A and B are shown apart, each in its own frame.
Chain A
Amino acid sequence: MHLGVSESMRECEYSQISTRSSTPMETPYKKRTPKKRKWEAFPGRNKFYCDGRIMMAKQTGVFYLTLVLILVTCGLFFTFDCPFLALQLTPIIPVIGGVLFLFVLGTLLRTSFSDPGVLPRATPDEAADLERQIDVANGGTGYRPPPRTKEVVINGQTVKLKYCFTCKIFRPPRASHCSLCDNCVERFDHHCPWVGNCVGRRNYRFFYMFILSLSFLTIFIFAFAITHIILLAVSHRSGFLNALKDSPASVLEVVVCFFSVWSIVGLSGFHTYLISSNQTTNEDIKGSWSSKRGKDNYNPYSHGNIFTNCCAALCGPLPPSLIDRRGFIQSDAPQLAPPTNGITMYGATQSQQSHM
């Protein structure tokens, strides 16, 4: 019986607005609006593709550059170096190269296309409730209130939670607002233009796997391109410069890899350090948990040992997306009734009355 009441209460709200049994004048008005998916009304500065399945930042130019660099370099490697190396040395080389390449591409696309852990903005009711609480706390002075913060003690460390004026929420610990994407992101690491997306809680492991595998791939191509050149120079006895002329592709690969390897390997090393100490780039740059801030300053999120930190970051459970991109926008759930009772929920009633 109770089920009947609550279910029909819910059904009633929705069906009342879209029902055909209400005034005929109202029905065409409502029917014409097609059902929109939530990504179409997303307030942040993101781009969506494939009907909401793919989510990226607004500026994606550098991402295409990354993609082109990887594809071209690997393409040249497989076309010009691999046949020679497979014959001269072993066919395992193209196989390993192929596996690395696919892994790099897979992780790159996964990093770029997934939701980094965006926090949805507060509903109007939530925002109003928070505002009320803050006003009460401030004593309702009427001056402009100071920046809103809440303090919370986590594992013995005092952490300040900041209020986000754009999203109208108190940011969870380790979350940060990305000004480029205009979203609050959980466990915000940084906004990476190379992957065209923020790096946060949900895609950090893909990002790390990407830079790690890219380091291996870069070193791999670098090593074998040089091997190719050396073998050419030695076997044909035509000299080093002629070997370079024989295989210009290898030269290009060596140059690209040489300049990339420092930054990519450096970045991998840096992120390995961050993972093992369970810090984000944001925290490290600000020195949030650095011992220089105070003797008792330590990272409250660290699990204590490197192994657990690494496992937690890379193999821990993958949280779901909180923004439900592909869900349909529903007509509003019960809104708080304003003083004139009943008008908010009953769009039907209102238009009914106006038409009548």
Chain B
Amino acid sequence: MAETHSLQDLQQPAVSSKVFIQRDYSSGTICRFQTKFPSELESRLDKQQFEETIQTLNNLYAEAEKLGGKSYLEGCLACLTAYTIFLCMETHYEKVLKKIARYIKDQNEKIYAPRGLLLTDPIERGLRVVEVTIFEDRSIGSGR
């Protein structure tokens, strides 16, 4: 019991708010997020860093959904094998999603966690939003 009390004191920051970065549909149905810097993050983060993160994410999603020789080849091959090939092979999209997950983890470690923020991978929110969780200021004290 004492253990949980001390854990709580040291590491459990309360979530003070969440910011949701919505999708940008101006280019159609492709996955893009708005790069507009939310006002709630102004005190915690540089506008440039934020925009860079979102822009990189947008580029990665564009790579996943790109129509090109490689994706067509994959599509045709899949059709010829009656789509059974996906039982043993990952689709190009899934590979890029893994890359995105790694990138977000990396960004969280390097940039966001030290500022008491947490990026949630959009795939966990159905690619609707990029959720940024803002922790209360006392969490910054425990991070170094």
Q: Does A associate with B in a complex?
A: yes
Residues of A within 8 A of B (CB): 1-3, 5-6, 8-9, 12-13, 16, 19, 21-23, 102-103, 106-107, 110, 119-120, 122-123, 125-126, 129-130, 152-155, 159, 161, 169-170, 172-174, 186-187, 205-206, 209, 300-301, 308, 311-312, 314-320, 322-324, 333-337, 341-342, 345-346, 348-349, 352, 356
Of all chain B residues, the one with the shortest Cβ separation from A301 is B28
Chain B interface size, under 10 / 10 to 19 / 20 to 34 / 35 or more: 35 or more
Give the most central of B4, B82, B97: most A CB within 10 Å.
Answer: B4
Q: Given known contacts A12-B7, A345-B12, what 17 new A-B pairs fall within 8 Å (CB)?
A: A6-B108, A9-B12, A119-B126, A120-B128, A125-B18, A125-B131, A152-B26, A173-B25, A186-B29, A308-B67, A315-B71, A315-B74, A316-B75, A317-B65, A318-B75, A345-B15, A348-B4
**CB–CB B14/A22 < 8 A:** no
Q: Which residues of B contact A8 (CB under 8 A)?
A: 11
Known A-B contacts A125-B18, A173-B28, A301-B29; the reply to A315 vs B79 at CB < 8 A is: yes
Q: Which residues of A contact B139 (CB under 8 A)?
A: 5, 9
What's the Cα separation between A65 and B125 when bound, in Å?
A: 37
Whether B3 is near chain A, meaning CB under 8 Å from some CB there, is yes
What's the Cα separation between A19 and B29 when bound, in Å?
A: 43
**CB–CB B18/A322 < 8 A:** no
Of all chain A residues, the one with the shortest Cβ separation from B144 is A1
**CB–CB B83/A174 < 8 A:** no
A-B contact count (CB 8 A): 167
Q: Which residues of B contact A106 (CB under 8 A)?
A: 82-84
Known A-B contacts A3-B109, A316-B71; the reply to A169 vs B128 at CB < 8 A is: yes
**CB–CB A2/B144 < 8 A:** yes
**CB–CB A2/B109 < 8 A:** yes
| Chain B 79-109 interface mask (CB, 8 Å, partner A; 1/0) | 1001110100001111001000000000011
